[in-house]
Amino acid sequence: MKCSLCEKEAVREIPYMKLFLCREHFIDWFNQRFIRDAKRYKLFEKSKRVAVAVSGGKDSTTMLHLLNEVSKQLNIEIIGVTIDLGINNGTKYSSKSVEIAIDNFKIAQVEYKVIDLNKDYNFTIDRAKSRTNRPACSVCGLSKRYILNAAAEEMNADTLATGHNLDDMAQFIFSGYIYGNFESLARNSMINPPERGYKIKKVKPFFFTPENEILHYAILKGYPFIYDPCPYSSEFGSVAQERIGDMLKNMETKMPGMMINLVKTFEKQIRPALHNIYSKDEDVGKCKLCGRPTSNGRDICSFCSIKNKLIAAQLTNGL
């Protein structure tokens, strides 16, 4: 098949645009859409220093390089942050991910910070999993949210960019409808201003970008990234999410553009309505242990509370 824009052989079909693109035109089209969306949705308005959370996977790695390449046009400075979550469990998943994230920071020549859950917070996701009955993903998700916010503040960033893509968002929205998690849905936007005691704005520039396009782009650009899945991604909760994701992918092949419509309708019409219902004036407290914000005026934040329980479980279990 020929490229829709030139005589070269196409390497990529964009079904929802009825386009076939050669390597150069696909890369160019992807770049243009990225800048257009960033400007249209004012993702970086008033941003100066943007911390990119890099896990070593294709999405966050591509985000780092792309944002770095267009940083002058968007008038922002890019820095990087990654977390060693201590997920090894016979796979060396975290060691490999952190190594790849650092390689990418060096290639992009950006200032970066590595946070080590074991050294800096005295627990790991592997130990949380093996010594307690908590699902690894719930401890991991909470830890990442807390640590990335804190690290971005420490690095004097005003914005934190994450690599969540269209498929992640479609899955999150659909599963939110199924399980009635409307409060979480109300809070999940492509742009979340600093609120509830936090100082950092959070943005998801790939909110409307399909996962398989990011993967193809990362391969064509030759970025190093980790292909292996996290060993805990097959846990019960994640399997349910994966099934919802597969169902959405199937629907997308039969109805090209369905996922973009689902996420756009959510962002433009549904989320603002949910936000009006659920954005009550929350009593924001200050954690007695770490000084960071707590929800519902609690004395101890959720992260310190879980961390202390995990450390206590480790001691009880003789670690």
Among 136, 259, 287, 306, binds ligand SF4 (CB under 6 A): 136
**Residues in 285-314 that interact with Zn ion by CB under 5 A:** 287, 289-290, 301, 304
Minimum distance from CB of 21 to Zn ion (Å)? 6
Q: Report if residue 148 touches ligand SF4, rule: CB under 6 A.
A: no
Three-class HEC string of the chain: CECCCCCCECCEEEHHHCEEECHHHHHHHHHHHHHHHHHHCCCCCCCCEEEEECCCCHHHHHHHHHHHHCHHHHCCEEEEEEEECCCCCCCCHHHHHHHHHHHHHHHHCCCEEEEEHHHHHCCCHHHHHHHCCCCHHHHHHHHHHHHHHHHHHHCCCCEEECCCCHHHHHHHHHHHHHHCCHHHHHHCCCEECCCCCCCCEEECCCCCCCHHHHHHHHHHHCCCCCCCCCCCCCCHHHHHHHHHHHHHHHHHHHCCCHHHHHHHHHHHHHHHHHHHHHCCCCCCEECCCCCCEEHHHCCCCHHHHHHHHHHHHHHHCCC
Report the residue number, 3 or 230, with the smaller CB distance to ligand SF4. 230
Residue 95: partners with Cβ closer than 8 Å, 6 or more residues away = 84, 88
Q: What x-and-dash track marks residues 19-58 binding Zn ion by CB under 5 A? A: ---x--x---------------------------------
**Residues in 223-282 that interact with ligand SF4 by CB under 6 A:** 230, 232-233, 238
Minimum distance from CB of 288 to Zn ion (Å)? 8
Contact range with ligand SF4 by CB under 6 A, out of 136-144, 179-187, 190-198, 307-315 = 136-144
Minimum distance from CB of 119 to Zn ion (Å)? 18
From CA 187, how far away is CA 172, in angstroms rounded? 12
Q: Report if residue 190 touches ligand SF4, rule: CB under 6 A.
A: no
Report the residue number, 43 or 148, with the smaller CB distance to ligand SF4. 148
Please name the residue that has the structure tokens 């994230």: 101
Q: Which does 152 bind (CB under 5 to 8 A by kind): ligand SF4, Zn ion, none?
A: none
Q: Rounded to 5 degrees, what angle do the CA atoms 191, 197, 200 make?
A: 40
Among 63, 98, 115, 140, binds ligand SF4 (CB under 6 A): 140
Residue 152 exposed, middle or buried by CB count within 10 Å (0-12, 13-18, 19+): buried
Q: Which does 290 bind (CB under 5 to 8 A by kind): Zn ion, ligand SF4, none?
A: Zn ion
Report the residue number, 108 or 137, with the smaller CB distance to ligand SF4. 137
Report the residue number, 137 or 259, with the smaller CB distance to ligand SF4. 137
Among 9, 122, 141, 269, binds ligand SF4 (CB under 6 A): 141
Q: Which does 312 bind (CB under 5 to 8 A by kind): ligand SF4, Zn ion, none?
A: none
Q: Which does 141 bind (CB under 5 to 8 A by kind): ligand SF4, Zn ion, none?
A: ligand SF4
From CA 136, how far away is CA 142, in angstroms rounded? 10
Binding residues for ligand SF4, total number by CB under 6 A: 10
Minimum distance from CB of 291 to Zn ion (Å)? 7
Q: Which residues bind Zn ion (CB under 5 A)?
A: 3, 5-6, 8, 22, 25, 287, 289-290, 301, 304
Q: Which residues bind ligand SF4 (CB under 6 A)?
A: 87, 125, 136-137, 140-141, 230, 232-233, 238
